[in-house]
Amino acid sequence: MAHKHGHGKERIQFANTEDKQEFSKYPTKAGRRSLSRSISQSSTDSYSSAASYTDSSDDETSPRDKAQVNTQGSSDFCVKNIKQAEFGRREIEIAEQDMSALISLRKRAQGEKPLAGAKIVGCTHITAQTAVLIETLVALGAQCRWTACNIYSTQNEVAAALAETGVPVFAWKGESEDDFWWCIDRCVNREGWQANMILDDGGDLTHWVYKKYPSVFKKVRGIVEESVTGVHRLYQLSKAGKLCVPAMNVNDSVTKQKFDNLYCCRESILDGLKRTTDIMFGGKQVVVCGYGEVGKGCCTALKALGAIVCITEIDPICALQACMDGFRVVKLSEVIRQMDVVITCTGNKNVVTREQLDRMKNGCIVCNMGHSNTEIDVASLRSPELTWERVRSQVDHIIWPDGKRVVLLAEGRLLNLSCSTVPTFVLSITATTQALAVIELFNAPEGRYKQDVYLLPKKMDEYVASLHLPNFDAHLTELSDEQAKYMGLNKNGPFKPNYYRY
Amino acid sequence: MAHKHGHGKERIQFANTEDKQEFSKYPTKAGRRSLSRSISQSSTDSYSSAASYTDSSDDETSPRDKAQVNTQGSSDFCVKNIKQAEFGRREIEIAEQDMSALISLRKRAQGEKPLAGAKIVGCTHITAQTAVLIETLVALGAQCRWTACNIYSTQNEVAAALAETGVPVFAWKGESEDDFWWCIDRCVNREGWQANMILDDGGDLTHWVYKKYPSVFKKVRGIVEESVTGVHRLYQLSKAGKLCVPAMNVNDSVTKQKFDNLYCCRESILDGLKRTTDIMFGGKQVVVCGYGEVGKGCCTALKALGAIVCITEIDPICALQACMDGFRVVKLSEVIRQMDVVITCTGNKNVVTREQLDRMKNGCIVCNMGHSNTEIDVASLRSPELTWERVRSQVDHIIWPDGKRVVLLAEGRLLNLSCSTVPTFVLSITATTQALAVIELFNAPEGRYKQDVYLLPKKMDEYVASLHLPNFDAHLTELSDEQAKYMGLNKNGPFKPNYYRY
Amino acid sequence: MAHKHGHGKERIQFANTEDKQEFSKYPTKAGRRSLSRSISQSSTDSYSSAASYTDSSDDETSPRDKAQVNTQGSSDFCVKNIKQAEFGRREIEIAEQDMSALISLRKRAQGEKPLAGAKIVGCTHITAQTAVLIETLVALGAQCRWTACNIYSTQNEVAAALAETGVPVFAWKGESEDDFWWCIDRCVNREGWQANMILDDGGDLTHWVYKKYPSVFKKVRGIVEESVTGVHRLYQLSKAGKLCVPAMNVNDSVTKQKFDNLYCCRESILDGLKRTTDIMFGGKQVVVCGYGEVGKGCCTALKALGAIVCITEIDPICALQACMDGFRVVKLSEVIRQMDVVITCTGNKNVVTREQLDRMKNGCIVCNMGHSNTEIDVASLRSPELTWERVRSQVDHIIWPDGKRVVLLAEGRLLNLSCSTVPTFVLSITATTQALAVIELFNAPEGRYKQDVYLLPKKMDEYVASLHLPNFDAHLTELSDEQAKYMGLNKNGPFKPNYYRY
Amino acid sequence: MAHKHGHGKERIQFANTEDKQEFSKYPTKAGRRSLSRSISQSSTDSYSSAASYTDSSDDETSPRDKAQVNTQGSSDFCVKNIKQAEFGRREIEIAEQDMSALISLRKRAQGEKPLAGAKIVGCTHITAQTAVLIETLVALGAQCRWTACNIYSTQNEVAAALAETGVPVFAWKGESEDDFWWCIDRCVNREGWQANMILDDGGDLTHWVYKKYPSVFKKVRGIVEESVTGVHRLYQLSKAGKLCVPAMNVNDSVTKQKFDNLYCCRESILDGLKRTTDIMFGGKQVVVCGYGEVGKGCCTALKALGAIVCITEIDPICALQACMDGFRVVKLSEVIRQMDVVITCTGNKNVVTREQLDRMKNGCIVCNMGHSNTEIDVASLRSPELTWERVRSQVDHIIWPDGKRVVLLAEGRLLNLSCSTVPTFVLSITATTQALAVIELFNAPEGRYKQDVYLLPKKMDEYVASLHLPNFDAHLTELSDEQAKYMGLNKNGPFKPNYYRY
């Protein structure tokens, strides 16, 4: 997709989907999964999306053609409708309730203003949750300018609320490709103001600064990148010797990977299936393809609700884990005829083939929780002998000549992205990690970080976790001096070796 | 609510709720819970409710004032818009896929037409699922006339589809009280046609026939009643010596109670909470008030997804079960300050008091899975010092003067009724039970049933269950002659004594 | 077995098993399962059996030939060795710690001595747990004389401890059939003392009194019977019009059935399999025959530890429950080749046939948790082409000519009886129920109980449960007056209708 | 303990425990846990230990003073009683049934005899399971000489069986310290035979060769070490520049750590508690100290059986995992008064202090699943005001002056080591890993491994796992060429990056 790797003159082909990042040119081996999470807010048709309150009533004028001023008299922003600010503020306040880690970070660090002097350009989904992140950065002393990393995912009222309080935001739901780059440029290119930090999700902003404003890029103190794709592009830059600033890979931190994937999928698989199909889980025969973190999360939840789950795997270690966890390990073709639900979580392509779709029983539900939209060979279903019937939003019945129906969810795109919500609490973990990465890079003594891509130090991972414990009223035990000595540990951590598997 | 116990001249006070049955005058000791299920389709604002497709586009003319004719030329029906029939047909077909027990019953019994000669008046929710029931009765030889038991729950397009195929249906979504009784009367009072069976949900139809058409009533062969309220009214009639026909209490059959309550709530508690609040279950502190079947279902599901659940109980036996199942048994006041979620499942009133609401922590979610809307003292929250803020459909924030917010779902009405869906499979069990009860009463030799209220014979309960086993590809074992003799059982059942607890 | 239904002159054939009750002539339809529990202490080879401390060191003289006197100078008892009293006392004290309900009952009722005047003859297993029961009855004012209901299950040191404190006990481990009846007679036939209450487990004592001392029998105020067999015999007596005293059927009380079967088996299936085979549960394919309470308990535990469990059923309702609980319902012959473990819980005979044993894979474990030793056709394995190899106590390898081994546990007798322990807590529930039944019958106003077999009133079931809640620090909620009125309940219970299924 | 680091002249102080390795001088930060597993067979009092069959009947003559010859005429061994060989053979055969991975390895590699020419000296526990390992090495072409790594853990009959088939074994149960080193020396020092591979568990053999036979040591091709302690000593040697041969650290391989700790503890915590205390798990309040793999395993199992579990942690990441998994995170002192069971799994010292022991309630069970015997401050309980009462093997009641009893298991040593069994299947995984490590080191082309300590290549970890899949009838899926290319993977693995957390 163009705006993910667009270099101005490239021919842009919009995929017919709101889940644009999925078409990334850069599939990478590890951590692909996280990609999906980074754009979870793009789920524009989600039941709970507050955005739906306001969209339909909006006029058709492009925000670029409107003259808007916030109550402070500033017009340094471009949003759909600044008058929605109040409604957006309420959404932000609701989000704050589940993001107390960031609020707590504001309190702990506010006195010292660790980001005083930071000038951050950011490019993320613009949602209530990222608004809490942005306002945290501001509270810690930073100046921020922001733009959207996805043309569909902006909550217009949240953008308005941010603009109203003085954060220059350039984003609205339903941007064109041209709008997208225009916004990025407006975000970066401000007379008398020069960014010294980049917070990116996908790498487009980074790329734009690198290409269009090389002198700015060289003076940046650090880049914080959240997505698989963006991280991949940074590694490529680094490999090519062109990364002249330190970058922090937030995507592969423990807190993000273990919590975002395992725990989040444990809940969203149920949510996604229910909202689309009203299926009763009890007694359903389910095959989950792939027993990584995502697969583990799906299997745990479905089994807990009475489904009979088996899995497929290519990796014998994960397969052995599945055995010990009580799941039969099968080949898809062995069981496909009996299954009520087929879920892919592999990150691979053509995991469910047309031949297997042909053999499914009537009413079988097929969906994808893994990477991109390649796991199910949906293309093979677009053939003349099959009839597609859209029965609900995100739900298609594919009808075979003999009347058999297969229920395809989200056209094979990510189910939890399209048909469920991501709990604010999980987003809080990621946002806190991003905030700490910004603080770390901005304040690191010269020389600590070179022109390379870094993982967050384990101690900061632990700090992110500790900021979230009060949500659960969890009380950590402290090591005594004697115990710390016995264990050879510092009382304040880090508590585990880097290779610890959790 | 009038139409639940309306005797014509009674003053009608409409409650400000779509869940009208909840205001029944007749709380009864056992089985109250089932009440909720019987009107689950009334969930008009449910995400998945197909009804929403069509409602907004409809005109304002009352169906009573419209002249409509189906393609067969009949005008013996009254629905919102007969033209929606095709859309309704698709909804029925989707429902059929999960109601294969009824389809199977059609096949097994079709040759013999066990309901040939049956003239059934029915009064139930009119949804895709009840349509499958009605069309099954027709397939088995019955003539049916139908009306709605709830003024809000009718799926207009389904009513249209039924009317189109020749079933005289008198129902639409949003009837007035007057409409309600008009529809019932039109259903019963058809020249040249006299009902000999009643299938009721709530007892209104039964009452109307009893009061207005006593001569018809006397000649009825049997009544099948599904709801707690309706069953209660039948028992009262019987006690008063006025029940001159046999009646079947479907509400208390095993298949209905164990499956509808335990398994259905296990799923709907998660669904209801997710759709309204996007809550992450992991690590949440939850108190469930009441450890009956509904409470058991809620606790099982929440614990399975990582919530930390404790319960309250008045009955020491249920409390001891909770202990053995791993739930702490507490008094609500002991834990109320720490809870993230409070769920009532008691069937009692004022289980959550204003005092306890005052002590909840900021962000605490309160909802009701039990009977009626009395469990949470919602009335006490309508006081001037508290601000109500509707943040989403079915979600209110109650704001205390100090800023504390309590999240109240569905205004204390049934969460699963208002905010989640009921799986078709569960409805299939109930519908099959109703169909078998009709067949049994209609065909019973004279004298088998007297003028009393009966439970379905256990053997028929077992038959209902057996019709649903193919859904799970479940294979029953058959007793050998030798084994049957050893056990003192008939090879075809019943397999358990009546008092067996399952 | 003679002593189960012995009528004096009958020819006695000792089965080659310590589990004598299993050969009862009277299989009954309901509740057979409980039979097993009533003699659980007979597990003489259990690892934890304290009895093993003392047995081997004992001399060979029959207790009947010894002259023993306790420290109070009494010789009105007959036990193995009165000198073991101190060791037995410690065992009783350990048991008391988990039977606080009885201790609490002693305290609550002690002032009033509700059993003052009661003269109880008892016939139960004589173990630390029943000792706590007996001493509770004494503390409440009763005079007790006791004998054993099983010739193998007596803990000699416990019998000594009871005798030492003045309870005339007539029992030792390893009685002969003749000893058995001699002990019963000595227990009943005491000059100047006439029993007015009978507490029985199996019906032998009752039968003896009925036959040998009809004049005593007629004046008895009540009989409390715990076992399936005993209850069956009482119902037969009643049917024949010969039961001239009221009897209480403790076997079918809720607290006994639900807790003893479901929860106890949930734990003992794991314990029994581990102690005998050291099996790792994770990933094992298990088939459980029968999904009643026992089967449910087994399935829950095994699934929780990672086994892959399927079930067989004859009853479609239980089968449907299994489906909803996430277990595949199969016929045994369909899966027998793949299974690692086969467990029977049906109460039926020949559930596992020789043909199926022939088809099992090498190393398959076969055991029985159900009724008696008939479920597995063990007799068919005693054929010349098969080799039996005893590899451990209670563990036989049956070796096929091709080298295949099937691992048979406890020779097909009850696994949890033979190879695991029954938690004291569960025994406490039963013992408390027995104590309350005695109090109720002894104190009931004339006319409350006729010459019939009764179930314990639900309110007393609830009381038994409530006495056990402090073990879990569980806090019951009390109904307010308003709530009790709304529910139509008495604040002190009973809280559920009799047919409530829990 | 001397034999862990004894250099001949050192003063030896035997700890009063059979778990000698626990007193290692070398506590190391990571992986301590595994230590326990390496000597699991030392559980001499385990119910299932076959050793108990023969011990008591043995004479008192030291094996060193006996002249024994096997049926092949060889006397190059020293075991307790060569006549027990047949019984030992049966134990080995039973073990083989659960170690099919090794049998399968024999078959796959047998043609090529990959260990032809290998002369292996080994020092491990000598049990049926290690016998399967040793005989696998022999089957693959190796010559083996073996000795025991623990003076208590040898199964005498297994040693006899090995000796009978021609493996020179020097080991018996109950060696003296002097015996221990004598055996090691006899194992290494054989005229005309020089070892070229070392397989060690604890590092004693390695140390002996290094010190006493430096010329042999230099020519060794590789060392395979399983234990934490031994690995630690290798790293120290390496750090000191004295490790002149490559060594393989088997202890930290994925298959060993994830399976041995998580899954094994999930089962052994239940087994250990049941065998010692007959506790009923349902409703018990349990605190687990430490939420690493061991803690996770314990918590999962206990929760699954109805216990109410909370945890303590020092690491916020693990604490957050506990929250998401549904366990309250507390400080021990906050909950100690309410707990029924306290379990330590931290690897730290004084996690349970005397002060906390003082505050426990009557009957509280305390045990240790973690490292060594330091977690519970048992020493503090050996004070005059407290009475110790041994109620069963491995079970002490500590009695406070007020009568309160605390139930201490295994005197604070490892519960699963002392009171439960380790499933053969888990040992199979470790043994297979050892065998592959030997093959790899012996056959590696020169230069692949330097004089350093290595982890097993991930591909071999995957191979170990794949060899165990047939046990579960698990069917791996194979990547298509197209898929492998898309993923950037080799079709045969490795499938994950090294840092993958599983």
pLDDT in tens, D32-41: 222 222 222 2
**Model-level pTM?**
0.88
Cα–Cα distance, C375 to C412 (Å, whole number): 7
D256–chain A nearest CA distance, Å: 11
What are the φ and ψ backbone dihedral angles of B376, each rounded to 5 degrees? -95, 135
Residue C384, burial from CB neighbour count under 10 angstroms (0-12, 13-18, 19+): exposed
Contact check, Cβ <8 Å, D350/A317 = no
Residue with tokens 């023969």: D54
Radius of gyration for the alpha carbons in chain B, expressed in angstroms and rounded = 23
Span of A54-63, A153-162, B96-105, C305-314 with lowest mean pLDDT: A54-63
The residue-averaged pLDDT of A339-355 equals 97
Q: Which of C97, C270, C391 has its CB closest to that of D363? A: C97
CA distance B422 to chain C (A): 15
- Distance (Å, rounded) from C-alpha D232 to C-alpha D58? 38
Whether residues D320 and A487 touch (CB distance < 8 A) is answered with no
Banded model confidence at residue D58, pLDDT cuts 50, 70, 90: low
Q: Is the dihedral of CA C188, C192, C196, C199 positive or negative?
A: negative
Contact between B308 and D324 using a beta-carbon 8 Å cutoff = no
User: Is D424 within 8 Å of D95 (Cβ atoms)?
Assistant: yes
Quote the Cα angle for D105-D108-D113, to 5°.
Answer: 90
Poorest-pLDDT segment among D53-67, D129-143, D469-483: D53-67
A25 pLDDT tier (thresholds 50, 70, 90): very low
pLDDT per residue as tens digits for the range A368-400:
998 778 999 999 999 999 999 998 889 999 999
Query: CA-to-CA distance for D388 and C206, rounded, in angstroms?
Result: 45
% of chain C beyond a pLDDT of 90:
74
Put simply, the chain C residues between 23 and 42 with a CB less than 8 A from any chain B CB are 27, 29-30
pLDDT tens string D260-285: 889 999 999 999 999 999 899 999 99
Structure tokens at B81: 């818009």
Of A325-329, B7-11, C286-290, D453-457, least confident by mean pLDDT is B7-11
pLDDT at A39 over 70: no
Question: Please, which chains are in contact with C (at least 3 CB pairs closer than 8 A)?
Answer: A, B, D
Q: Which amino acid is at C125?
A: H
Interface membership of C334 toward A (CB under 8 Å): no
Q: Is C481 within 8 Å of chain B by CB? A: no
Residue B442: count of CB within 10 angstroms of its CB: 22
For tokens 């041995």, name the residue: D260
pLDDT for res D6: 30
Residue ranges of the annotated binding site of A are 127, 201, 226, 256, 260, 292-297, 313, 416
Of A306, A323, A325, Cβ closest to residue C326: A306
Q: Report which DSSP code applies to A256.
A: I
Task: List, for residues A427-471, the tens digit of each pLDDT value.
Answer: 899 999 999 999 999 999 989 999 999 998 999 999 999 999 999
B positions 45-74 inside 8 Å of A (CB): 47-48
Q: From residue B284, give the alpha-carbon distance in Å to each of A33, A100, A474, B279, B338.
A: 26, 15, 11, 9, 10
Tokens of D194: 């020089």
Tokens 């024999």 -> residue: D106
Min Cα distance B281 → chain D (Å) is 8
Please give, rounded to a whole number of angstroms, the shortest distance from the CA of B261 to a CA of chain D.
Answer: 22
pLDDT averaged over every residue in chain B: 87
Q: Does B275 touch chain A (CB under 8 A)?
A: yes
Q: C285 is written with which tokens?
A: 């394919």
For B122, phi and psi rounded to 5 degrees?
-125, 150
Give the rounded distance of the alpha carbon of B456 from its chain centre.
18
The answer to whether the Cβ–Cβ distance between A278 and B423 falls below 8 Å is yes
Q: Tell me what pLDDT residue C252 has.
A: 87
Nearest to D496 among A254, A315, A328 (CB): A315
The single-letter code of the amino acid at C287 is V
Annotated binding site of A for NAD(+): 292-297, 313, 416
Q: CB of A307 within 8 Å of any CB in chain C? A: yes
Question: Which chain D residues are Cβ-neighbours of C264 within 8 angstroms?
Answer: 280
Least confident of A119-133, B488-502, D457-471: B488-502
Which of B314, B346, B461 to mutate to test binding with chain C, by most C CBs within 10 Å of its CB? B314
3-class secondary structure, C16: coil
Q: Please give the structure tokens belonging to residue B418.
A: 């208002």
Q: Please write the tens of the pLDDT for every residue from C105-126.
A: 999 887 889 999 999 999 999 9
Residue D22 near chain C (CB below 8 Å): no
Cβ partners under 8 Å of residue C447, min gap 6: none
CB-CB neighbors (< 8 A) of C86 in chain D: none
Query: Residue B498's closest chain C neighbor by CA?
Result: C499
Kindly tell me if the per-residue pLDDT of A15 is higher than 50.
no
Asked whether the beta carbons of D121 and D220 are under 8 A apart, the reply is no
User: Which residues of C are less than 8 Å from A308 in CB distance?
Assistant: 326-328
Interchain CB contact of B270 with A (< 8 Å): yes
Q: Where are the alpha helices (DSSP H) in B75-203?
A: 85-97, 100-110, 128-139, 156-164, 177-188
- The residue ranking higher by pLDDT, D418 or D474, is D474
| Among chain B residues, CA nearest to C458 | B317
In this prediction, residue C371 carries a pLDDT of 72
| Pick from C47, C304, C405: CB nearest D304 | C304
- In this prediction, residues A17-46 reach a mean pLDDT of 29
With an 8 Å Cβ cutoff, are A325 and C306 in contact? yes
Counting one residue from A and one from D, how many pairs have CB atoms under 8 Å apart? 178
Q: What percent of chain D has pLDDT over 90?
A: 74
Pairwise CA distance, residues D22 & D1, whole Å:
8
What six digits make up the tokens of C375?
A: 């479920």
Say what the pLDDT of residue D298 is: 98
> Is some CB atom of chain B closer than 8 A to the CB atom of A281?
yes
Q: pLDDT tens, B339-393?
A: 999 999 998 999 999 999 999 999 999 999 987 789 999 999 999 999 999 988 8
Work out the minimum CA distance from B283 to partner chain D, whole angstroms: 5
Predicted complex ipTM:
0.87
Query: CA–CA separation, A328 vs A311, rounded Å?
Result: 6
Report the pLDDT averaged over residues D128-153: 95
Other C-beta atoms closer than 10 Å to the C-beta of D408 total 22
Residue with tokens 């998580």: D262
By the CB < 8 Å criterion, does B278 face chain A?
yes
Are B300 and B266 a contacting pair, CB within 8 Å? yes
C330 touches chain A (CB under 8 A): no
Q: Is the pLDDT of residue A211 over 50?
A: yes
Looking at the complex, does the CB of residue C325 fall below 8 Å from at least one CB of chain D? no
Q: How confident is the model at residue A59 (pLDDT cuts 50, 70, 90)?
A: low
CA distance A405 to chain B (A): 10
Q: Are A137 and A112 in contact (CB under 8 A)?
A: no
Cβ–Cβ < 8 Å for B87, B157 = yes
Mean pLDDT of A134-156: 95
Rounded CA separation B233/B225 (Å): 10
What residues of A are in contact with residue C323 (Cβ under 8 Å)?
A: 282-283
Q: Is A313 on the interface with D (CB under 8 A)?
A: yes
pLDDT 10s digit of each residue in chain C, 502 long? 333 333 333 333 333 333 333 323 333 333 222 222 222 222 222 223 333 334 444 567 899 999 999 999 999 999 999 999 999 998 899 899 889 999 999 998 878 899 999 999 999 999 999 999 999 999 999 999 999 999 988 999 999 999 999 999 999 999 999 999 999 999 999 999 999 999 999 999 999 999 999 999 999 999 999 988 899 899 999 999 999 999 999 988 888 888 888 999 999 999 999 999 989 999 999 999 999 999 999 999 999 999 999 999 999 999 999 999 999 999 999 999 999 999 999 989 999 999 999 999 999 999 999 877 899 999 999 999 999 999 888 999 999 999 999 999 999 998 987 788 778 888 899 999 999 999 999 999 989 999 999 998 999 999 999 999 999 999 999 999 999 999 999 999 999 988 788 8
Decide: D370 and D33 in contact? Cβ < 8 Å: yes
Q: Enumerate residues 6+ apart whose C-beta is below 8 A from C66.
A: none
Q: Which chains touch A (3 or more CB pairs under 8 A)?
A: B, C, D
D450 touching A, CB under 8 A? no
CA–CA distance, B60 with D485 (Å, rounded to integer)? 61
pLDDT at residue D98 in the model: 85
Band of residue A294 on the pLDDT scale cut at 50, 70, 90: very high
* Strand pairing category for D387-392 and D395-399: antiparallel
Query: What residue has token string 């439970």?
Result: B455
The whole-number pLDDT of residue D118 equals 98
The residue type of A158 is: V
Does the CB of B257 have a partner CB in chain C at under 8 Å? yes
CB contact under 8 A, A308 and C324: no
Q: CB distance A476–D328 less than 8 Å?
A: no
Which two structure tokens, joined as six digits, stand for B88?
């309704």
Residue D14: predicted pLDDT: 30
Instruction: Inspect the interface and report whether the beta carbons of B97 and A472 lie closer than 8 Å.
Output: no
Closest residue in A to B277 (Cα) is: A48
- Using pLDDT thresholds of 50, 70 and 90, give the confidence band for residue B58: low
At residue A53 the predicted structure's pLDDT band, cuts being 50, 70 and 90, is very low
